[in-house]
Structure 1
Amino acid sequence: MFVGVRAVFIDEISMLSAAILGKINYRLQQITGTYDQVFGGLHIILCGDFRQLPPVRATPCYTVPINQLGAPILWQSIDYFPLVRVVRQTDELFSRILTKIGDGLKLSVNNIKLIESRHKSESWCKENVPDAVRLFYSNFEVDSYNRKAINNAHNCIATDIMLGYSSNSERGQQQGKLHKMSVAETDGLPYMLPLAVGYPYMITSNINVGDGLVNGAIGVLRHIERQPADPAEAGPSTSTTSPPTKDEIITLWFEFPDKSTGASAKLKSRPYVLSKPNTLSVDWVPVYKKVVNITLTKTVKCKRKQFPCVPACAITIHKSQGGTFDVIVYKYSSKQPQQLVYVAMSRVTSITDCISSRRRTLLDFQTWARRKRLTNYTRYSH
């Protein structure tokens, strides 16, 4: 696989922890057999924006991993080249404002007035931009909004098979624990998935990385396919467990904004799609149920079968990192760190596409302690 490889590109470097960077270095040394050079002597090009959020519960890549204090910093072996041209934002003034926010610099009065002109009430947002993605700080706010936003939803309940329990009491206890776990803790498979056509959903696990069906991809649900009464009429399936029961939901069909997403999956399902011209479209991507094993204790496990997706009418700011949206409604709070504000506001290309649903001044962005942290990576590179 690495025969002839001379350079490795890694994007969204701000999401990469120091520990992962160390593992990449070690694996490249193993692959090339060159242990006396960092990254096995290969050229490594890291791209990203360090004004964004650092990895969750991990140290940034330009620091020393927590479990390797005193070890050399790999970042010091990398030359730093800042790129001054902003590609995502087409509005030059908006781009300059975002740079100030990201660097912790004080905004001018005119900058603040421009941002405050995008402050709208919740009722205005519901009436004028009902389909805009909502960005919230916490998972609780996201879940609450998604429950209210999706009307007439069908709740698709996961099939859970408990294994390794010694009594019904232990089984019930572990089931209760399982139902309280977050989607991240259950390998991207929710217990209850509200489904309704016409709403956006986010893929929560890597289905096919090469095909673009990856964790974080957002598409609109266009069709919910159920198991027909006649098994001969059933479409393609990837199920590795018992066959679906009558009327069970077997396939979700999504339309993604990037037409290259799911290109291979669309090609494979094309004959079946063409056989149902009044129901399906060749632009839709099929997503099937997935089976994962969830460890609860040393002995008790759960085999869960569910679709790897969640509603995405609202998502957390952390989840939005790396994405670009047509319009966002962002719930701003003066308590949020500047990196969070920067990531939220920079998800759109123009200030007119960024709407704040809360009236708060943005004057207090100059946080010197945070600014020092943001610029540490330039010091470590020399």
Structure 2
Amino acid sequence: MKQNPLLVLAPTGVAAFNIQATTIHAGLHIPITEMHPLTRQPLMTLQEQLKHIKYILIDEMSFLGPKLLLKIDSCLRQAFPDSQHESFGGVSIILVGDLAQLPPVMDKPIYASHSTALSLWLSFTTVVTLDTIFRQQGASIRQQQFRTVLHNIRNAQALQHDWQFLMCQTNATLTIQQKKDFNSSIHLFATNESARLHNRKMLKELNLPVALSLAKVGKQTNTEYDNNEQLPLEVLLSINQQVMLIASLWIEVGLVNGAIGLIKKIVYENNTKPPDLPKYVVVQFKDYNGPPWDIAHPKDIPILPITRGRRT
């Protein structure tokens, strides 16, 4: 049976799930923290997984920064020792996406480096530009104007009439019914505090009991591993509350960082209650496509507490 020579990767769990791929870090065994040469067994595992790979396609290339590009290069040179003196271990890398979209997290844009990563970036010499828009379609004047506004914003060329077009859809100009229609939509905020206040408001509007869950904090350990990954000290939970998964548990079936779900049940160990941590929380994920945990409710999945650093 002929092996597939193409590996498809994406920088985030959601992006990977959308194209039936895996994340860059998982697919190439790249650690989230500091990069070190792979030891014997992990290296052998990676080499076995990549032995037929000739091409790697990476989606959402704007998320790639010099640091991650260097890690990809280092990893592939280790995986293909016979080609370790070639960029990316001799594997052909295909980058897909729009550099004008979201930039890398905690890194510079891929083209802004003045280090070894710049030579890697400059090695991409073939460019194919797609110029047909599929996401925003329609032939009406309003739809055409919307596409023009998005194009102008993308190229930092927005004019006053673009601003006026967007301002016709502000909260002050919407009808009461339109505001109700948007009430349950996901909102974007500039600060964590604004997001927290909105979440509290929406939680209150459920008019249901709310369970306060306090994180467990372990004893002081080696600070090298004391990374809580921004896990909060407390979480408010309620039935029918909309929540977001913030860890990629099983990308192939849709349990990815960013997946949206509804809490259906909060289960505690015997003799425990709030503010103790639940044993697990049952969440309904509409995009989940894996084996059912509950035959009667195939989209319901138990989410267990996780530990990062000293915090659970």
TM-score by length of 1: 0.58
- Return closer, same or farther for 1:147/1:246 CA change in 2, 3 Å cut-off: closer
Structure 1 contact 62–74 (Cα < 8 Å) conserved: no
Is 1:29–2:77 an aligned residue pair? yes
Q: CA deviation at 1:133?
A: 0.9
C-alpha contact (below 8 Å) 2:73/2:89 kept by paired residues: yes
Give the C-alpha shift of residue 113 in structure 1: 4.2
Tell me the equivalent position of 1:161.
Answer: 218
**Structure 2 contact 247–257 (Cα < 8 Å) conserved:** yes
Offset at 1:21?
0.5
Question: Unpaired segments of 5 or more residues in structure 2?
Answer: 1-48
Q: From the superposition, tell whether residues 225 and 86 of structure 1 become closer, same or farther in structure 2 (CA, over 3 Å).
A: farther
Matched, 1:9 2:60: no
Which of 21, 29, 38 does residue 87 from structure 2 map onto?
38
SS in structure 1 at match of 2:187: strand
How far, CA to CA, are the matches of 1:147 and 1:193 in structure 2? 11
Q: Which moved more, 1:251-260 or 1:16-25?
A: 251-260
Q: Please tell me the residue identity of whatever aligns with 2:300.
A: W
Q: Is the 8 A contact 2:111 2:118 kept in 1?
A: no
Indicate conservation of the 8 Å contact 2:70/2:117, yes or no.
Answer: no
Distance 1:107 1:290 in 2: 47
Residues 1:51 and 1:228: Cα distance change in structure 2 (over 3 Å): same
Following TM superposition, by how much is the alpha carbon of 1:126 offset from its aligned partner in structure 2, in angstroms? 5.2
Which residue is 1:116 aligned to?
167
Letter paired with 1:291: T
Give me the identity figure in percent: 26
Query: C-alpha separation between the residues in 1 aligned to 2:236 and 2:109?
Result: 36
3-state SS in 1 of match to 2:218: strand
- Deviation >4 Å, runs of 4+: 122-126, 245-248
> 1:24 deviation in Å?
0.4
Q: Please point out which of 269, 280, 283 is paired with 2:299.
A: 283
How many Å separate the matches in 1 of 2:98 and 2:308?
Answer: 34
Whether the 8 Å contact between 1:226 and 1:250 is mirrored in structure 2 is yes
DSSP 3-state at the match of 2:244: strand
Residues in 1 aligned to 2:261 and 2:230: alpha-carbon distance in whole angstroms = 16
Post-superposition shift, 1:253? 1.8
Q: 3-state DSSP class of the match of 2:201? A: helix
- Judged with a 3 Å threshold, the aligned counterparts in structure 2 of structure 1 residues 99 and 11 are, in CA distance, closer, same or farther, namely same
Q: Is the 1:62–1:73 contact (alpha carbons within 8 Å) kept by the matching residues of 2?
A: no
In the other structure, the counterpart of 1:132 is 185
1:284 and 1:41 map into 2 onto residues whose CA distance is 44
Residue 194 of structure 2 is matched in structure 1 by 141
The verdict on how the C-alpha distance between 1:8 and 1:164 changes in structure 2, with shifts beyond 3 A counting, is closer
- Deviation per residue, 1:234-278 (Å, 9 max, x gap): xxxxxxxxxxx4786222122223243xx1xx43x2xxx24xx5x
Specify the code of the residue in structure 1 equivalent to 2:71: K
| Correspondence 1:97 to 2:149 | yes
How big is the shift at 1:55? 1.7
* Number of residue pairs matched by the alignment: 247
Q: What are the Cα deviations for residues 262-319 of structure 1, in whole angstroms up to 9, with x where unaligned? A: x1xx43x2xxx24xx5xxx1221221111222xxxxxxxx3x22xxxxxxxxxxxxxx
Shift of 1:136: 0.7
Q: Structure 1's 131 and 72: CA in aligned 2 closer, same or farther, altered over 3 A?
A: closer
Change (3 A) 1:162 1:126: farther
| Corresponding letter in the other structure for 2:284 | E
What residue identity is the alignment partner of 2:168? S
**TM-aligned CA deviation for residue 119 of structure 1:** 1.3
- The answer for the alignment partner of 1:215 in structure 2 is 257
Aligned with 1:258 (options 276, 281, 287): 287
Among candidates 106, 112, 122, match of residue 158 of structure 2: 106
TM-score between the two structures when normalised by the length of structure 2: 0.69
Letter in 2 for 1:43: S
Q: CA shift at 1:143, angstroms?
A: 1.6
Q: Is the CA contact 1:187–1:205 (under 8 Å) kept in the aligned structure 2?
A: no
Q: Which moved more, 1:15-24 or 1:35-44?
A: 35-44
Could you say which residue in structure 2 is the equivalent of 1:75?
121
- 5+ residue gaps, structure 1, are 166-173, 179-184, 230-244, 294-301, 306-382
More strand, by proportion: 1
Take 1:30 and 1:164, find their aligned partners in 2: how far apart are those partners?
A: 32
User: How do residues 323-338 of structure 1 correspond to structure 2 at under 5 angstroms?
Assistant: none
Counterpart pick for 1:63 among 112, 118, 143: 112
The CA deviation string for residues 71-115 of structure 1, in whole angstroms up to 9 with x for no partner, is 642111112222212232234522332111010113373x44432
Inter-partner Cα distance in structure 2 for 1:20 and 1:75? 12
